[in-house]
Amino acid sequence: MLKNLRLKFHFKALHNELNNRKPSKDRSAVTWKGAKSIGILFDANEPDHRKRILKYADELRKKGKQVRLLGYLSQQQEGEEFPFRTFSPKDQDWRYCPKSEEVREFMGQSFDLLFFLGLQSTLWSEYIAALSKAKLRVGPSTEHTYAYDLMIEVPEKAGLPGFITQMENLLGKTNTPYEAATAT
């Protein structure tokens, strides 16, 4: 019962934040090729998942994109350092709203693209994505349509690589600039 009450206050706080925001001038069409800055939000609990995301971030950097990572750890791991910023449940208030400085800075960045790289959306990922200043937010399919501008659904067996491939394919097909046909 306490969890349900906390969830109710979570969604109320999120909707209040969304309603109090001025319409963002940052939201705009972004082409995959034209995107220069990318924020990647992910669950950093699984070592294999972390490795795959770090590898993907390196691939994006090799393509000339600026990439910033923010990983969620269900338990803060003392003494272990990561090549990305992290946050944990300790960085959330009693309503499950992330409140750490790392999260605030990440949400305040005007990324061209924000990716939540996971097969299932979470409370914290939806909160951060919804309040992000990114021009285009991409994540897994969820009933909370305020969280992402583009939602992707892939079979679970496709895993993270399948999600990334589908995401890049869709982004490559959307907002593509076309030239007018010339009359001959």
For position 155, what pLDDT does the model report?
A: 86
37 phi and psi, to 5 degrees? -120, 135
For the chain, list the domains and their CATH numbers.
Answer: 36-172 (3.40.50)
For position 81, what pLDDT does the model report?
A: 83
pLDDT in tens, 82-98: 889 999 999 888 887 78
pLDDT in tens, 155-173: 888 899 999 999 999 888 8
Residues in the chain: 184
Q: Are 67 and 38 in contact (CB under 8 A)?
A: yes
- Assess whether pLDDT exceeds 70 at residue 106: yes
Nearest alpha-carbon partner for 171 in 126, 107, 112, 109: 112
Least confident of 33-37, 65-69, 100-104, 178-182: 178-182
pLDDT band, residue 23 (cuts 50/70/90): low
pLDDT band, residue 180 (cuts 50/70/90): low
